[in-house]
Structure 1
Amino acid sequence: MSLHATPAYSSRITRPRRRSGLAALGLKRKTPSPSNPTPKQLSLSSEPSAYNDDQPPSLLTDLKLCDIPQTITSIHTHTFSPLPTSPSLSSTLTSRILNHRLRLPPFISLAHLHAISASATSVDREISLLVSTGVLRRVVIPHRAASGIGEGVVCVREWQRLIQENSEVPAELKEKYTTSLASPRSALDFAPKEREILLSTGFLTCDATAPNATYTLSLPNMGLYVKLVSDARSHLVKLVKQNAHGTMPLCDVAERWNGGVIEEGDVQAEGKKVRGEFQGVLPGRTKRWKRFYGMRVEWVVEECVGAGLVEVFETGSVGRGVRVV
């Protein structure tokens, strides 16, 4: 019986190892070490989508965020879309949208923070630390705990900016109010006339149902925020429920939220415009702009996930989907 020597079985015949591209360039391969773990990728928007309205990258994929104040600032940045560049909104609607956005308080619900964080426990722990040091301030809205909007946080510096920009509050009262904001455990010591000014401007509230009148620091226009977010969440859940199974791809949810508006720069829309054909619905005629002032669908989905109204899942075929809980 003859034996055949092949390179695979002979110890004297060796094949040189193939050098990698990094080795050919004289570079070392980087491997993650246990002391420097890679940041956890969050769930909602890990790939670019077609419905982001040319916004900055999604908050859920911005791995540079390392603390709660940065996260709160980014949530505010991603709340609304910029106004359309084309003359599709009337001057009256444009003015109403801008004024309503300016009047909204810098309040972020805890449900929203929990939805975009990797660990709700670590978020609560960091919030408690920042509240004790005077960086953040907790805000509780009575009778709204079940809806997920009843408790949230505000950056103290934003709160101080609001009181400083208000022209109806005297300068001495502004300093006194700012001092009370910086020390959360200090008792409120306002004169009756000062309380009257703060109550009229919305910076102070009173629980009239309590046996003894209890005064609490508050933010102006909190009712506008609660109504806007509640209506937006209800509308999104209604859109998802239009499907027979209460499930819909995220791209379809975004399309319905936008009202079927054709994006600016679309080639087909430009061709229809030249031919004088119907180009689609104008943004000024949709609920997104008339009722929700240009609120982004991604922000509403995050709010609904935090409130436990919907959940986001991987479909395996058409990207991410939204399901009513």
Structure 2
Amino acid sequence: MSLRSILGGSSRVKKSTKRSNTNLSNSTPSSSSWTSSLPRRKPGAQHQKLSKGNQQDDDDNDDLFGDKLDDYGLVRALATDLNLRDTSQAILYLRQHMFSPMPERAAGMNSTRIAEVLNYRKRLPPIVTISHIQTLLSSPSAAEREIAELARAGFVRKVVVARRGDIGETVVLATDFEQMVKDSAALDEDTKDRFIAFLKENPGTQMVKGGTLSASQISQLVRAGFITSHHTGLIHHGSMSHTMNRYSRPEDKITLTSLERISREPTGTLGAVGGGGALREAGGSGGGSLGGSRLSVATPELELAVPGNGTFLKLLSSALEHFVSLLSKSQFHEAPESVLRDRWDGGVAKSEARCSAKRARGEFAGLLPGQTKKWRQFYGLSFDWVLQEAVGSGLVEVFETRSVGHGVRAI
């Protein structure tokens, strides 16, 4: 007997095609039916949302897990150039490193804006704040003594803007100041020669005595910006600006009767400026006797100035305020120097790292330098220069962390 006869016919097992198709259609939905229930989005929408969210998370996670930085002591000198030995070298170094170089490619600025930035830099006076010089040298007191000696010798010229605190005390090389006088188109030759002769005869002075120059010469120098009228009268506290309050000394912003005003009087006493009731008689609400002599307003005095000093101070004060505001983004108002540098640059470094592949292919991607506040408002002001200026002004301090480099903390 054969095997086929035992199994009762064919040895093959046949599937029911009709039944299997029916079961599949009843139990499992087709591909078109289950995909139709999913939400429809554009192909790049989800990727853009994720990349934007990741970028925001990166900016929020700059606090290094919300912990304070380790502090192993303040950094005494911020100079990275070991060749800086004296004040003259520090002045030249600060003037050369005030601005970042113009980007060679993909600057994000047209030719008109580039010319505007370069002309703005050229118009700034060649001055440096004294507090900035002290941050580069190891001994601030030694730098202060050296500046005084150089001023008496006629090598540098000290120019002070009243009621601006540390940022108002600046120095300029005497040769640069004389060159500015020679290049001024608002002065005639007689005024230039007489003024330069006065500067050489009085190397350490900041005031211009009456009778030294004629009235027409003084008028020309005032219009050109080399002489200003320093009024020693009283200034109402309410008229002070926010920037003046931030950088002014305490004696300049507590009362109307400032120490500067008293020190300029012959006797150097409070009675020389109206007595104890001067504040009330001037319209203030302070204490003191209601009687006494009336408050007299002193005559203006002429002092040396540098053309463009107001533009310099405006740029400096706005840059310092923005610099301090960058530290306020951190929980403890402190951040590693590398993180703060990236914030000052506008996050261009992160953008270039994320979009390096697209840039290699010549495609537009990321944030261009010309679109950041560093270039739009501050004309490419260098981060290191602003950091040193902030330390010298007493707004921040730099300390060693031993883990993430230097740390910067707002005071």
- Match for residue 161 of structure 1? 179
**Residues 293-302 or 172-181, more deviating:** 172-181
Asked whether the equivalents of residues 93 and 290 of structure 1 are also in contact (C-alpha less than 8 Å), the reply is no
Paired residue for 1:255?
342
1:278 is displaced (CA, Å) by 5.2
**Hey, what's the Cα distance between the residues in 1 that align with 2:393 and 2:404?**
25
Distance (whole Å) between structure 2 residues aligned to residue 243 and residue 185 of structure 1: 45
1:288 is displaced (CA, Å) by 0.4
* Alignment match, 2:260: none
Superposed CA deviations along residues 82-134 of structure 1, whole A, max 9, x for unmatched, are 11111422122212211111111122111111222211111111111111110
Which one-letter code corresponds to 1:65 in the other structure?
Answer: L
Query: Is this contact kept in 2: 1:260–1:280, CA < 8 A?
Result: no
Q: Does the 8 A contact of 1:247 with 1:322 survive in 2?
A: yes
Secondary structure of the structure 2 residue equivalent to 1:318: coil
1:242 maps to: 329
Task: Give the match for residue 181 of structure 1.
Answer: 199
SS in structure 2 of the partner of residue 215 of structure 1: strand
| Distance in structure 2 (CA, Å) of the matches to 1:91 and 1:77 | 23
Local SS of the residue matching 2:135: helix
Q: How far apart, CA to CA, are the structure 2 residues paired with 1:132 and 1:110?
A: 16
- Indicate which of 210, 214, 219 corresponds to 1:191: 214
The equivalent of 1:97 in structure 2 is: 117
Task: State the shift of 1:61 in Å.
Answer: 2.5
SS of the counterpart of 1:100? helix
2:330, 2:363 → 1: CA distance?
30
- Compute the TM-score of the two structures, normalised by the length of structure 2: 0.61
How far off is 1:270 after superposition? 4.6
Asked if 2 retains the 8 angstrom alpha-carbon contact of 1:232 and 1:300, the reply is yes
Determine the structure 2 residue equivalent to 1:203: 226
| Number of the residue aligned with 1:150 | 168
Q: Which residue does 1:70 correspond to in 2?
A: 89
Which shows bigger deviation, 95-104 or 177-186? 177-186
Residue 98 of structure 1 aligns to which amino acid in structure 2? Answer: L
Counterpart position of 2:137: 117
* Residue among 170, 176, 185 paired with 2:188: 170
Q: 1:176 is paired with a residue of what secondary structure?
A: helix
CA distance in 1, matches of 2:309, 2:191: 21
- Distance verdict in 2 for CA 1:244–1:317, change over 3 Å: same
Aligned mates of 1:281, 1:219 — CA distance in 2: 38
In structure 2, the partner of 1:271 is 357
RMSD of the TM alignment (CA)? 2.2
Structure 2 residue aligned with 1:140: 160
In 2, the alpha carbon distance for the partners of 1:267 and 1:138 equals 45
SS state at 1:316 partner: coil
- Residues 215-224 or 61-70, more deviating: 61-70
- What is the CA distance between 1:62 and its match in structure 2? 1.8
Moved over 6 A (4+): none
Q: Which of residues 316, 323, 326 is equivalent to 1:229? A: 316
Which residue type is aligned with residue 95 of structure 1? Answer: A
The number of residue pairs the alignment matches comes to: 267
- Decide which structure has greater helix share: 2
CA shift, 1:274, in A, is 4.7
Find the residue that maps to 1:254 and give its secondary structure: helix
Within 2, Cα distance between the matches of 1:72 and 1:135? 12
Contact 2:125 2:308 in 1 (8 A): yes
Deviation at residue 63 of structure 1 after TM alignment: 2.2
**CA shift for structure 1 position 42:** 5.5
Q: Does the 8 A contact of 2:186 with 2:223 survive in 1? A: no
- The DSSP-based 3-state class of the residue aligned with 1:61 is coil
Matched-pair contact (CA < 8 Å) for 1:90–1:284: no
Partners in 1 of 2:220 and 2:356 — Cα distance? 55
SS of residue paired to 2:348: coil
Give 2:304's aligned residue.
Answer: 217
Q: Is the 8 Å Cα contact of residues 93 and 284 (structure 1) preserved in structure 2?
A: no
Instruction: Flag structure 1 segments of 5+ consecutive residues without an equivalent.
Output: 1-40, 45-59
Give identity over the alignment, percent. 36
Q: Secondary structure of 2:379's match?
A: coil
